[in-house]
Structure 1
Amino acid sequence: MAHLALSATRRWAKAPVAVRVAVVYLGARVVTTVFLVIAASLSTSSSRFGAEAGIIDFVLGWDAQWYWLVAENGYPTDLPLTDSGDVAENAWAFMPVFAYAAKGIGVLLGSWGAGALLLSLVAGYLACLALHRLLRDRIGNSAATWAVVFFAAGPIAAMFQVGYAETLFLLLLFLALDATTRRTYAWLYILIPVMAFTRPGVLAFALFLGLHGLLRWIRRRQDPLTGREIAHILALGALATLSGFAWQVIAGIATGDPGAYLATELAWRQHWITGGVDGFIPFEGWIQASQFWFALWGMPQWWGPIVLVLSVVGAAAALLFSSQVRALGADIRLWSASYLLYLLAVFFPQSSTFRLLLPLSPLWGAVAVPRSRLWRVGVLAACLLGQWFWIYHVYALGSTFWQVP
């Protein structure tokens, strides 16, 4: 028996990466499917999906409806308004690449939903391959494979099987990070614009490129920096910045309202802020939300900003001093810091917070670096438990704005 186990282990280690990742990914998707089936059976008439919910309802649920609306009707030229005269939730908050790519695939499969599901599944598998490639030279094949396990089976793994743009964006992001770390900058001229019109977040990549260039300049004696590379980094930073603001400009031109995009994004905060939202102020969202949540939990509101500051300091310390995180290399740490700063600047933390942390998935490598098998199995168990908890609450029980995935 021991000989058979050893033989199987050796065969697994020698199998092509694409095969090993495929086995991990398919196994994770089976588990997620089981969770979704159970959640559908537990859905009641009080749920958004009703007592007769099925998996296809979940695939097309929540924000997937907005992507479908974009694919079918495009974007409004007249912004919808609430009874109070504020801009209402509308399609401008959702980028076009996923919506129209799913529509194109759906033409062949018979429906937008089928196209969206296939696109999410395939992009998810390719994202797993890209994540393994990004990590393997830093932490080794085994640890990189475990990082893929945690990523594919993580608490938000339902995103691999619903009509959201997340997996497509993650694929593009991992490829962009890998291209940056390998100094194959030319690929970024394609990846950055597509990222920018897939999902918000490319401004964080612009900041990352700036920090990457600064670090390369500081280390230029140990790591030569050519004039050609300097030109690429500067041009790509400008491209990422322009791409990051392009959707705001397009929305403004199409609607005749220069603030159309920001007003649309702020429309989702109306549910959370008593008295409405006056305008966008960077970093204000997290302060407001920390006060909101602590008040909701029956604790003093002033605790919220204090806990927020401590959390930021803790995240910074982990990125700077944790040996596991440092093993991932400077570029992954710089990306993580850039994206966290971006979230702090623009996001209002609510039920979608965990989903919006998915671009930090390369940090699974720090969790997977060589440790005991018991540790890794324990992390996987925690991932699966978190996945069920999330699916149960946003799909089986999902009915209101604070349960949006």
Structure 2
Amino acid sequence: MAQLALTVGRRWAQTPMALRIAVIYLIARLVTTGFLILAASLSTSLSRFGAGAGLVDFVVGWDAQWYWLVAESGYPTELPLTDAGTVAENQWAFLPVFAFAAKGLGFVLGSWGIGAFVLSFVAGYLACLALHRLLRDRIGSAAALWAVVFFAAGPIAALFQVGYAETLFLLLLFLALEAVARRQYSWLYLLIPVMAFTRPGILAFALFLGLHGLLRWRNRRDDPFRPREIIHILALGALTTLAGFSWQVIAGLATGDMGAYLATELAWRQHWVAGGVAGFVPFEGWIQAAQFWFVQWGLPAWSGLVALVLVVVATALALLRAPQVRALGTDLRLWSASYLLYLLAVFFPQSSTFRLLLPISPLWGAVAVPRSRVWRMSVVALCLSGQWLWIYHIYALGNTFWQVP
């Protein structure tokens, strides 16, 4: 038995990394498929998917329906209104790259749903490859492979198999972070525009580029900061900022209402805020949510604000001081801080928060740094447990406002 284990281990070590990651990814997808099948069997008439739910329903469910609507009908030139006269949910909240890429694949494969599944599935595998490449020079190839295991089997891993834009965005993001790390800035002129029209979050990358540039300027004596690189970072910062605000301008020009995009995004928030939302105020969402959720849980509103402050402080300290996080290098810590600050500024936290944390997936590398086998297997168990709980609540039960993916 020991000899067999040794032989298997030796052959595994000799297997090309792309194939090893493919094996890990496929096993993870089989587990997720099993969870989805179980969730479908537990779905009842009270779920939005009904008692006869199947895997296809899950692939094209929730936000995937909006991407499908974008692909089939485009974007409205007149904003829909609720009975109260406020802007209703509509396609402008969903960026076009994933929707139309899935439509192109669907034209070949037979349907938009099949195209969306294949796009998410393949982009997920490529994102695993890109994540390993991003982490291996920082924490070593073995730890980077464990980070891929945690990523592929993580609590939100169902998104690798449904019609959401997340995996495509993560692939582009990991490639962009790798380009910055290797000072191959020219690639960003291609990646940034596609990222900007895949899913929201590109403004966080603009902040990251600015911080990266400032850090390089500070360290220019030890790490020469050539004029060509300075020009690249300034130009890319401008491009990223322009791309980040362009969708608001496009929505405004198409509808005749320059506040169309923000009003559309706030249409989702009004479900949680009593009396609706008058307008967008940076950082207001988390303050409102901290009070809302703690009152829902039977706790005083002020305790939610205290908890929010503690979470922000603890996160900042972890990014600054935790040795496992520091092992990832400054750029990945800067990206994580930039994206978390972006979320703090624009988002109203609810059940979708877990999905929106996926862009900080490079932090799985910090979880993978400890070499204890017990630790790593415990993390895998927690990942799979969290994945089942997420799938169960989102797909088997998903019928209330706190069960939104």
Same fold (TM over 0.5): yes
Q: TM-score, normalised by structure 1?
A: 0.99
Query: Paired residue for 1:199?
Result: 199
Deviation at 1:322, TM superposition (A): 0.5
Residue deviations 1:198-247 (CA, integer Å, cap 9, x gap): 00000000000000001111111111110000000110011100000000
Residue deviations 1:287-331 (CA, integer Å, cap 9, x gap): 000000000000000111111111111000000000000000000
Deviation at 1:371, TM superposition (A): 2.1
1:296 aligns with 2:296: yes
Q: How does 1:364-375 map to 2 (within 5 A)?
A: 364-375=364-375
What letter is aligned with 1:131? L
Within 1, Cα distance between the matches of 2:71 and 2:2?
A: 55
Deviation at 1:356, TM superposition (A): 0.1
Query: Paired residue for 1:253?
Result: 253
Within 1, Cα distance between the matches of 2:286 and 2:402?
A: 16
Q: How does 1:129-140 map to 2 (within 5 A)?
A: 129-140=129-140
Query: Paired residue for 2:15?
Result: 15
Query: Paired residue for 1:6?
Result: 6
Within 2, Cα distance between the matches of 1:151 and 1:13?
A: 20
Query: Paired residue for 1:105?
Result: 105
SS of 1:170's equivalent in the other structure is helix
Within 1, Cα distance between the matches of 2:8 and 2:183?
A: 37
Within 1, Cα distance between the matches of 2:58 and 2:306?
A: 37
Query: Paired residue for 2:186?
Result: 186
Deviation at 1:96, TM superposition (A): 0.1
Query: Paired residue for 2:44?
Result: 44
Deviation at 1:401, TM superposition (A): 2.6
What letter is aligned with 2:176? A
Within 1, Cα distance between the matches of 2:402 and 2:75?
A: 25
1:157 aligns with 2:160: no
Query: Paired residue for 2:87?
Result: 87
Within 1, Cα distance between the matches of 2:12 and 2:216?
A: 38
Residue correspondences, number: 405
Deviation at 1:104, TM superposition (A): 0.1
Within 2, Cα distance between the matches of 1:8 and 1:236?
A: 47
Following TM superposition, where does structure 1 have runs of at least 4 consecutive aligned residues deviating by more than 6 angstroms?
none
Q: How does 1:354-369 map to 2 (within 5 A)?
A: 354-369=354-369
Q: How large is the RMSD of aligned CA atoms in angstroms?
A: 0.6
SS of 2:365's equivalent in the other structure is helix
Within 1, Cα distance between the matches of 2:30 and 2:338?
A: 34
Query: Paired residue for 2:58?
Result: 58
Residue deviations 1:103-128 (CA, integer Å, cap 9, x gap): 00000111000000000000000000
Residue deviations 1:182-208 (CA, integer Å, cap 9, x gap): 100000000000000000000000000
Query: Paired residue for 2:234?
Result: 234
Within 2, Cα distance between the matches of 1:16 and 1:173?
A: 24
Unaligned runs of 5+ in 1: none
Deviation at 1:3, TM superposition (A): 2.0
What letter is aligned with 1:304? G
Within 2, Cα distance between the matches of 1:25 and 1:101?
A: 22
Calculate percent identity across the aligned residue pairs: 78
Query: Paired residue for 1:307?
Result: 307
Query: Paired residue for 2:333?
Result: 333
What letter is aligned with 1:14? Q
Unaligned runs of 5+ in 2: none
SS of 1:282's equivalent in the other structure is coil
What letter is aligned with 1:78? E
Query: Paired residue for 2:76?
Result: 76
Query: Paired residue for 2:209?
Result: 209
Q: How does 1:256-405 map to 2 (within 5 A)?
A: 256-405=256-405
Within 1, Cα distance between the matches of 2:153 and 2:222?
A: 39
What letter is aligned with 1:320? L
Deviation at 1:402, TM superposition (A): 2.1
Deviation at 1:392, TM superposition (A): 0.2
Q: TM-score, normalised by structure 2?
A: 0.99
Residue deviations 1:246-267 (CA, integer Å, cap 9, x gap): 0000000000000000000000
